[in-house]
Amino acid sequence: MIRAVIVDDEDLARAVAREFLSAHPDIEVVAECADGFECVKTVQELKPDLLLLDIQMPKLDGFEALELIDAGRLAVVFLTAYDQYAMRAFEIHAVDYLLKPFSKERFDAAIGRARARLGQSPPRAGDLAAAARGPGQFLERIVVQDGARVHVVAADKLDWVEAQDDYVSLHSQGRQYLKQQTISSLEERLDPSRFLRIHRSAIVNLERVARIEPYTKDSRLAILADGTKLPVSRSGYARLREMLDARG
């Protein structure tokens, strides 16, 4: 049997998916979830084979939930009301998706494709989320898993980011969160009009920069409003001055 979990914040959408799955005797619905947090907990506990996952949900959206799941060989079918730009992104990444409202025929086709791909590694959630965003759309929040807890850091509350090998340390309102992600991949998803890579190991929220001070002959320090001192490379200094001057 293929063990499936349905995740959607709308009762009717879950009921439709459950009814359509009843026509597939080899698939057993082992759980239903109404939000992203519940999805993460359920998938980690039950380790299903198939996940029908809504994207637009409160608390955690589908991309954020999947980013926190050890997806392993999980087959994912996205349930979405996204526009055609996002549809192209899904197709490029060879992801199964159902555009709401969907027919039983389209549902069966997606399940067939997912069944054929069981056991294959899914695409990285972060890459897919970035590709599915239209031009000018950037991260509004960052999800971080800390053991059994999940933290959601709002982008506008992010003060600065520090690279630590394959991890990033997120500094926000006096707290620090460690996330497994490279600083380069995070930089690509942050709004470049608000965040700037000032050093190979640091990204700063421009609104937090109070002043720039000389450090050595060829380097400088960015002093943040809370007194934090961050290294600024030569190229980072040129970009930082340009951005700060543009902001007045």
Do the domain assignments include residue 138? Answer: no
Q: Please tell me the predicted confidence (pLDDT) of residue 127.
A: 75
**CATH code for position 53:** 3.40.50.2300
The DSSP bridge pattern shows strands 75-80 and 50-54 to be parallel
pLDDT digits (tens, 9 = 90+) for 193-235: 999 999 999 999 999 999 999 988 778 999 999 999 999 998 8
- List the domain range (segments joined by +) for residue 106: 2-132
Do the domain assignments include residue 143? Answer: no
Do the domain assignments include residue 94? Answer: yes
Q: Is residue 188 domain-shared with residue 105, that is, in the same domain? A: no
Q: Is residue 208 domain-shared with residue 91, that is, in the same domain? A: no
Q: 2 and 28 in contact (C-beta within 8 Å)?
A: yes
**Which of the residue ranges 84-93, 100-109, 141-150 has the most confident prediction, judged by mean pLDDT?**
100-109
Weakest-pLDDT range from 65-69, 132-136, 182-186, 191-195? 132-136
Asked if the model's pLDDT at residue 85 lies above 70, the reply is no
pLDDT class of 248 with cuts at 50, 70, 90: low
Q: Is residue 18 domain-shared with residue 124, that is, in the same domain? A: yes
CB atoms within 10 A of CB 187: 16
pTM of the model: 0.81
Asked if the model's pLDDT at residue 10 lies above 90, the reply is yes
Reference 2, options 119, 125, 97; nearest CA is: 119
The last residue of a domain, from among 86, 114, 132: 132
Q: How many domains does the chain have?
A: 2
3-state class of 225 per DSSP?
coil
Q: Is residue 22 domain-shared with residue 127, that is, in the same domain? A: yes
Share the mean pLDDT of the chain: 89
> End-to-end distance of the chain based on CA atoms, in angstroms?
62
The last residue of a domain, from among 132, 150, 177: 132
Q: Is residue 120 domain-shared with residue 38, that is, in the same domain? A: yes
pLDDT digits (tens, 9 = 90+) for 40-80: 999 999 999 999 999 888 888 888 888 888 767 788 898 88
pLDDT digits (tens, 9 = 90+) for 161-179: 999 988 999 999 999 999 9
**CATH code for position 236:** 2.40.50.1020
